[in-house]
Amino acid sequence: MTPVTREFERSHADRVNEGPGGGVSEGTPLGPAQVEACVQRALQTAPVHDIHTHLYAPQFGDVLLWGIDDLLTYHYLVAEFFRVAGQEITIERFWALPKPRQSDLVWKHLFVERSPISEAARGVVTCLNKLGLEAGDRDLAGYRRYFANRSLASHLDEVLALSGVRTIVMTNDPFEEREQAVWRNGGVIDDRFRPALRLDGLLNDWPTAGRLLRDQGYAVEPDLSGSTAEMVRRFLDAWIARMRPLYLAASLSPDFRYPDESGLTRLLRDCVLPVARAHDLPVALMIGCRRQINPHLRLAGDGVGHADLATSSNLCLAYPDVRFLCTVLARENQHELAVIARKFRNLHLFGCWWFANTPSLAEEITRMRVELLGHSFTPQHSDVRVLDQLIYKWSDTRAMLARVLTDKYAALLAAGWPLTDSRVVCEVEDFLGAGAMKFITGATAGD
Tens digits of residue pLDDT in 321-361: 999 999 999 999 999 999 999 999 999 999 999 999 999 99
- Of 133, 135, 137, nearest to 162 by C-alpha is 133
Q: Which residues is 350 bridged to in the sheet?
A: 378
Q: What stretch of H or E contains 12?
A: helix 3-18
Which residues make Cβ contacts (< 8 Å) with residue 315, sequence separation at least 6? 258, 285, 322, 324
Quick one: pLDDT at residue 286? 98
Q: Are 111 and 124 in contact (CB under 8 A)?
A: yes
Helix and strand totals (H; E) in the chain: 21, 10
CA distances to 69, 355, 357, 420 from 148, in Å: 11, 31, 30, 47
| Confidence band for 443, pLDDT divided at 50, 70 and 90 | confident
The rounded percent of the chain whose pLDDT value lies above 70 is 94
Residue 9 pLDDT greater than 70, yes or no: no
Give the pLDDT mean for 103-110: 98
pLDDT band at 189 (very low <50, low <70, confident <90, very high): confident
* Segment 221-265, tens digit of pLDDT: 999 999 999 999 999 999 999 999 999 999 999 999 999 999 999
Instruction: Quote the pTM value.
Output: 0.94
CA distance from start to end of the chain: 19
Helix H, strand E, coil C: the string for 84-121 is HCCCCCCHHHHHHCCHHHHHHHHHHHHHHCCCCCCHHH
How far is residue 376's CA from residue 350's CA, in Å, rounded to a whole number?
10
The contacts of residue 24 (CB under 8 Å, 6+ apart) are 18, 422
pLDDT band at 3 (very low <50, low <70, confident <90, very high): very low
In contact, 256 and 311? CB cutoff 8 Å = yes
Q: What is the DSSP letter of 62?
A: G
Region of 288 (left: φ > 0; alpha: ψ -120 to 50; beta: rest) is: left
Cis peptide before 259 (omega within 30 of 0): yes
Which of the four pLDDT bands, split at 50, 70 and 90, describes residue 444?
Answer: low
Give the pLDDT confidence of 135-162 residue by residue, as tens digits. 999 999 999 999 999 999 999 999 999 9
Q: How far apart are CA 77 and CA 120, in angstroms?
A: 7
The pLDDT mean for the chain works out to: 94
pLDDT at 19: 41
Distance CA 351, CA 358 (A): 11
- The single-letter DSSP state of residue 47 is P
Residues constituting the chain: 447
Range 47-64+151-386: architecture per CATH: Alpha-Beta Barrel (3.20)
Q: Looking at residue 425, what is its pLDDT?
A: 97
Residue 8 has pLDDT above 80, yes or no: no
Q: What is the pLDDT of residues 49-98, one digit of tens each?
A: 999 999 999 999 999 999 999 999 999 999 999 999 988 999 999 999 99
What does the domain layout of the chain look like in residue ranges? 47-64+151-386, 68-148
- Residue 177: pLDDT over 90: yes
Note the pLDDT tens digit of each residue in 360-405.
Answer: 999 999 999 999 999 999 999 999 999 999 999 999 999 999 999 9
H or E stretch covering 207? helix 206-215
Q: What are the residues whose beta carbons fall under 8 Å from the beta carbon of 219, sequence distance 6 or more? A: 226, 227, 228, 231
> What percentage of the chain has pLDDT greater than the value 90?
91
Report helix, strand or coil for 227: coil
Q: Residue 5 pLDDT more than 50?
A: no
CATH class name, domain 68-148: mainly alpha
